[in-house]
C-alpha cells in the first residue's frame, strides 16, 4: 500500500552521484517532491522526467526540491541525467534493490522496479500528498503543483 498523507516520510540514504549520497533528512525545513519511476531510458519515464525538468522552476518557486528515484544504478543515472540534461538529482534505490520503494509501499515485486508514484513532503518530513500512477502513463505535473499550492496556501 502506498504511503498516505499525514504519514512521516521514511528517511533514506541513496547515491545521487557515483561518489555522493543524499538523505531525505538533508532537506529538513524544505518541501520535497519524490518522483519514483520504473526505469531510466524508458519512453514514459524519459517524458515524465523531461517534463519535470521543464517545470523545475515552478516547483522551486513553490519552495520545493525534486528528487527522482528508481532502482537503476548510480552509473545508469549519471549517464541518463547527463544525456537528458536534468537539473535535479536521480537517486539510486539499487542495493538493496528497491528498499526505499518498499518503504513507501510502491515496489513492484513482479517487475523488480518501483511503480510510478509521486509524493509531496512538507518541511517537517510529513507526506502531504501521494499518488500512484499507472506505470505506462505519465502523471504530469498538475497534481504536484496543486498539492504545493494547497500546502503553501494552508501555511499562510
Tell me the domain boundaries of the chain: 13-154
Cell reading at 142 = 498538475
Instruction: Kindly indicate whether the domain formed by 13-154 is annotated with CATH number 3.40.30.10.
Output: yes
Catalytic residue among 45, 69, 127, 144: 45
Cα–Cα distance between 148 and 66 in angstroms, integer?
Answer: 12
Cα–Cα distance between 124 and 108 in angstroms, integer?
Answer: 28
Between the alpha carbon of residue 114 and those of residues 16, 56, 102, 122, the distances in Å are 17, 22, 8, 22
Catalytic-residue membership of 45: yes
- Mean pLDDT of successive 10-residue stretches along the chain, which has 156 residues: 97 97 97 98 97 98 98 97 98 97 97 97 97 96 97 77
The answer to whether 82 and 89 have CB atoms below 8 angstroms apart is no
DSSP state of 27: G
Amino acid at each position: 500500500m502506498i504511503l498516505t498523507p499525514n504519514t512521516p516520510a521514511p528517511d533514506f540514504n541513496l547515491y545521487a552521484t557515483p561518489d555522493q549520497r543524499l538523505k531525505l533528512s538533508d532537506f529538513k525545513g524544505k518541501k520535497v517532491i519524490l518522483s519514483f519511476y520504473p526505469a531510466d531510458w524508458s519512453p514514459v519515464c524519459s517524458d515524465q522526467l523531461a517534463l519535470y525538468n521543464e517545470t523545475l522552476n515552478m516547483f522551486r518557486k513553490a519552495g520545493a526540491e525534486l528528487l527522482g528515484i528508481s532502482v537503476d544504478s548510480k552509473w545508469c543515472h549519471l549517464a541518463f541525467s547527463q544525456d537528458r540534461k536534468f537539473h535535479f538529482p536521480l537517486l539510486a534505490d539499487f542495493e538493496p534493490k528497491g528498499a526505499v520503494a518498499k518503504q513507501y509501499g510502491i515496489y513492484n515485486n513482479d517487475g523488480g522496479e518501483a511503480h510510478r508514484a509521486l509524493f509531496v513532503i512538507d518541511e517537517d518530513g510529513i507526506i502531504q500528498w501521494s499518488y500512484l500512477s499507472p506505470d505506462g502513463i505519465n502523471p504530469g505535473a498538475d497534481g504536484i503543483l496543486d498539492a504545493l499550492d494547497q500546502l503553501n496556501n494552508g501555511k499562510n
